[in-house]
Amino acid sequence: MKKKVIALILGSALAAASLTGCSGDNNSTADTSSMQTTTTEEGSETTNESAAGSDDIVEIFWQYPAISDVGEGFYRMEDALNEMMERDIGVHVTFVPTGLMESQQNAILSVSTGEQLDICLSAFTSVAKLVENGLVQPLDDIIEEYGPDILEVCGAAVGGCYYDGKLYGVPTSSTAMYTSYGYKMKKVYFDKYGFENDRDKLYTFDEIEEMFSVVKAGEGDNFYMFTPWNNTVEPLNSSYLEFDKPSGDLTAGVVMLNRSFDELTVYNLFETPEYEEFCKRMYDWRQKGYIAPDASVDTDYSSRAANDNYMGNFSGIGGAIAENPSDWNQDIVVYRTIAPYIAQNGGRNMTWNIPVTSVNPAKALEAINYLFKNKEATWLILYGFEGEEYEVVEDNGVDKIIRYLADNPQDLPYYQPYGIYGDRFAWPVFYPNSIDFNRKIGDYHDQIPESKYSPIIGYSFNQSSVTVEMAAVQTVIEQYYTTFNSGVLDPDKALPEFQSALKAAGIDKVIAENQRQLDEWAASKK
Amino acid sequence: MKNKNQLVHKIKITFSQNWLYYIMVLPGLIYLLINSYLPMFGIIIAFKKMDFSKGIFGSEWNGLNNFRFLFATNDAWIITRNTIAYSIIFFIVGTFMAILFAVCLNEVTNKISAKLYQTISLLPYLMSWVIVSYLAFAFLSSESGFINKSILPILGIDSISWYHEKDYWPFILTFVSTWKGVGYSMILYYSNILGINQDYFEAAKIDGASKLRQIRYITLPLLKPTVITLLILNLGSIFRSDFGLFYQVTKNSGPLYPYTRTIDVYIYQALMKNADYGMSSAASVCQSIIGFVLIISANKFLRKYQASSALF
């Protein structure tokens, strides 16, 4: 009897175990294929339903970049937002917190296991990977009906979200498309050494180097001028020269805009004389002590410049520079190195995409559109609640000036730093900027002449035939770029090695393919 | 007929005597089934061009295209050499140190001390590689590292930029790997030594053997079967490397790659931003198949020479 009972228990336990393998769980890969087909079918069915004005609330999972664990303020914000959204468009939003740089990877992970994700974020990467792997869906059919405000507010920026002829995403916000770069110096050193600064002038690197040598002589060892971001391949965080990257990264070559804004030739950046000059200068700077010896292996680079023994950093800066620019919780002075220009860089830098596991793509798009339509919803997500996170300093009916209620905004119950929601020009202005700051940015953007527009806007590079080579090239770049950016290796020896490794990985094939497609596109435009 | 009955009878007795052990093994067995056996069908991903809107079975076949990328680099040979060489070195050095530790620990008479030493030596194993990488950084940093600032000046040598000089790294990596793993691998040998019959040692003592001789002629030979079994098991993972060690501790520094880049690190670097499931699967399949072939052949080879130590 005892034996039978034991045998029975064991047997049923084993049987139960084997059944777990075939459950209809979302995470079971065996069922993914069938799940995919049903969701896309459902998707198209519900599109018709929502067009007819369905009364059911649709739940949308929306990827939300956060800098830390979300707190209680976040949930309050989510509830308040849902109050508005449920009432106006019948959507209930559930935010899925993620890190900004990991957003695309997390989206890939969720979608490939079949989890529902309606809106995902592509930050600083092109949408090519998502499309090549069949993870996002085209929006051409639904954009006009469900995203009219997006089209109106973002205008030409939407053109940068196309891949291979179809629309795969929408811009996150209508930020001005131009980019301008330079060196940000902490004001304490500016005052201490009596430098001058002309906001409208473009400084050469020799002039900046002169200032470095003065400061270095004054501060001595263990004081550094800037830190190269180790996740950014572009020289000096893109402050060194203008270019446009058709594939969104440097593996497929660049169009050298510093030479000309009209030429449609794709170059291998790493073989250009400009790059060689850059490497030599970085090597020189490191010998002189402007760059920390361990910079290339530093994992805390993003916050390193805030340290007391750093003078500043190179990075992108807003075009219409604020009257009192500040960063790292202190005043700074900006030295521009590159005039504002407009490049596509493989598509908009930040886009919302709709994955294939979305249950209702039309509603998802409508939710994004809602942010462009409704200022209050946007302010809610961006800043939180008036009186709790921020206070209104001035209000002239059209624009407001606001200020955070804490010196360190991270202490507030709700804080998120990413300006990726809604219409940029409808955002409140931050104190102490003047109340028409938004207008100024808009005007500044309009001032940028056509001659500063990259000639390849509207072109997208279809990578499917060279993915293997691009992966190999990427690996080679990963091996060398941190060392060149921090001036570790002598470029006379290391640069030829780098260049031949790139060739062996097949960069010439990639660039030839890119050039071929570009020429085709240029011909078809005429 | 009689044989069959006998067999059934045998099974019944084994089961009734050992049912408790079977229950003990059950959770692990379930885990193994779900984690290792069930996903095996996924091997086809390595041969397909993954398109998630069609699912795994709907995606098109890609032949051996995904494997091309592994050999597309100049460094394919260097990477393979690194992986295999480090696996071998780590095994040899690790085993030597583990046995040394186990033997020494066995000689400690104070029970409390013995437990204390064992716990302390086990602690590094429980640390994550990220923490270990920061520990290493504290020693090797050019700006503020212990070695550069305190030790080298005393010896009168110039500062060395550790993270950019590749020649030192085989030693550094071996040292760190052993330091981290010895506490854990020692446990097996220690328990083996504890199980050795004390009569042997007494007999040896009576015959006048010194401590060293006792160790050499009794302990070590009795540990041989364990070493051989572990050797075979390790052969199966000769193409794998500890990713944390080679990526975190080296801080992924480019100039070191000729001596520190192994297959796992290469795959991570190439495919992290790429998200190409096909290529990543291809790389894993390569590793697994080679490991599998190695284990089977090593086991066959061993069967001839020392059947009792063979795995199966």
pLDDT in tens, B197-234: 889 989 999 998 888 888 888 899 999 888 988 888 88
- A364 vs A62: CA distance, rounded Å: 8
Q: Please indicate, yes or no, whether residues A213 and A258 belong to a single structural domain of this protein.
A: yes
Q: Which residue of A has its CA nearest to B65?
A: A468
Residues A166 and A188 in one domain: no
Flag whether A436 is in a domain: no
Structural domains of chain B in order of their starting residue, each with its CATH number: 46-309 (1.10.3720.10)
Higher pLDDT, A261 or A509: A509
Compute the nearest-CA separation of A445 from chain B (Å): 32
**Higher local confidence (pLDDT), B48 or A499:** A499
User: Whole-angstrom Cα distance, residue B266 to residue B243?
Assistant: 10
Gap between the Cα atoms of B239 and B231, Å rounded: 14
> CB–CB of B34 and A20 under 8 A?
yes
Mean pLDDT of A37-48: 36
Q: Report chain A's mean pLDDT, rounded to a whole number.
A: 79
Q: Taking CB atoms and an 8 Å cutoff, what residues of chain A touch B42?
A: 29
CA distance B220 to B217: 6
In a domain, A409, yes or no: no
Contact call for A32 and B55, based on CB within 8 A: yes
| B124: pLDDT strictly greater than 60 | yes
Greater model confidence, B117 or A383: B117
In a domain, A411, yes or no: no
Distance (Å) of CA A225 to CA A212, A228, A247, A289: 7, 10, 31, 9
Please state the domain count of chain A. Answer: 2
| Termini Cα distance of chain B | 29
Task: Identify whether the C-beta of residue A431 lies closer than 8 Å to the C-beta of residue A402.
Answer: yes
Q: What is the pLDDT of residue A432?
A: 67
Residues A318 and A466 in one domain: yes
What pLDDT score does B40 carry? 86
Which of A111, A112, A488 faces B164 most closely, judged by CB atoms?
A: A488
Q: What is the SS3 assignment for A95?
A: strand
pLDDT at B168: 92
Residue B91 confidence (pLDDT): 93
Take residue B78 and report the two structure tokens written for it: 């260097």
Out of A6, A35, A475, whose CB is closest to B270? A475
Q: Higher pLDDT residue, B90 or A255?
A: B90
**A155 and A42 housed in the same domain:** yes
Provide the pLDDT confidence category of residue A322 given band limits of 50, 70 and 90.
Answer: low
Residue A218 and residue A157 share a domain: no
Asked if ipTM goes beyond 0.90, one says no
CA-to-CA separations, B17 to A2, A322, B3, B273, in angstroms, rounded? 12, 82, 21, 54
Domain holding A79, by residue range, is: 32-175+347-380
Give the CA distances from residue B263 to residues A241, B70, B133, B168, in Å, rounded to whole numbers and listed in that order: 35, 9, 20, 20
- Which among A134, A249, A469 is the nearest to B53, CB-wise? A134
| pLDDT more than 90, % of chain B | 33
Shortest distance between the Cα of B70 and any Cα of chain A, in A, equals 9
Tell me the pLDDT tens digit for each residue of A215-228: 988 888 888 888 88
- Whether chain A has a CB inside 8 Å of the CB on B161: the answer is yes
Residue A439 pLDDT level (bands cut at 50, 70, 90):
confident
Closest CA to A63 of A349, A350, A344: A350
- pLDDT surpasses 80 at A128: no
- B42 CB within 8 Å of a chain A CB: yes
Can you give the pLDDT at residue B117? 93
Partner B contacted by A504 (CB < 8 A): yes
Give DSSP secondary structure letters for A297-365.
Answer: G-S-HHHHTTSTTB-EEEEEE-SS--SS-EETTEEEEEEEEEEEEB--TTS-SEEEE-BTT-S-HHHHH
Q: Which one has a higher pLDDT value, B220 or A162?
A: B220
Rounded-to-10 torsion of CA A434, A438, A444, A445: 170
- Judged against a pLDDT cut of 70, whether residue A363 lies above it is answered with yes
Which pLDDT belongs to residue A176?
55
* 3-class DSSP state of B206: helix
Q: Please check whether residues A362 and A332 belong to one and the same domain.
A: no
Q: Residue A21 domain-assigned?
A: no
Tell me, yes or no, whether A275 and A337 share the same domain: yes
Q: Using CB atoms and an 8 Å cut-off, which of residues 217-236 of chain A contact chain B?
A: 222
A299 close to B (CB below 8 A)? yes
A47 pLDDT above the threshold of 50? no
**Contact by Cβ (8 Å): B175, B162:** no
B63 touches chain A (CB under 8 A): no
A135 lies in the same domain as A212: no
User: Residue A320 maps to which CATH number?
Assistant: 3.40.190.10
Interface probe for A, chosen from B43, B53, B251 (most Cβ of A below 10 Å), is B53
Task: Give the pLDDT score at B274.
Answer: 63
Place of tokens 């002075």: A333
A295 is a domain residue: yes
B270/A297 touch (CB, cutoff 8 Å), yes or no: no
In a domain, A429, yes or no: no
Q: Do residue A146 and residue A239 come from a single domain?
A: no
Cβ distance B55 to A34 less than 8 Å, yes or no, reads: yes
At B94-115, the pLDDT tens digits run: 999 999 999 999 989 899 999 9
Give the chain A residue whose CA is nearest to the CA of B163. A297
Q: Which A residues, 234 through 273, put their C-beta within 8 Å of a C-beta on chain B? A: 249
Nearest to B227 by CA among B41, B95, B101, B42: B95
Report the residue of chain B nearest A108, measured CA to CA.
Answer: B275
- Give pLDDT tens digits for B130-144: 999 999 999 998 888
**Same-domain pairing of A308 and A230:** yes
User: For residue A449, is it within any domain?
Assistant: no
**Rounded to an integer, what distance in angstroms lies between the CA atom of residue A429 and that of residue A421?**
15
pLDDT value of residue A71: 81
Please indicate whether, in this complex, the C-beta atoms of A32 and B163 are within 8 angstroms of each other: no
Q: Specify the pTM.
A: 0.73
Tell me the sheet residues that pair with A422.
Answer: A173
pLDDT confidence bin for A53, thresholds 50/70/90: very low
Are B276 and A134 inside 8 Å of each other by CB?
Answer: no
pLDDT exceeds 60 at position B165: yes
Mean of per-residue pLDDT scores for chain B: 86
Buried b (16+ CB within 10 A) or exposed e, A382-396: bbbbbeebbeeeeee
- A464 with A500, same domain: the answer is yes
* Min distance B16 CA to chain A CA atoms (Å): 7
Asked if residue A320 and residue A469 are part of one domain, the reply reads yes
Task: Give me the pLDDT at residue B99, please.
Answer: 93
B146 interaction partners in chain A (CB closer than 8 Å)? none
Residue at A440 is within a domain: no
Question: Mean pLDDT, to the nearest integer, of A450-469?
Answer: 80
Which residue is associated with the tokens 């490397």?
A: B241
> What is the pLDDT at residue B110?
92
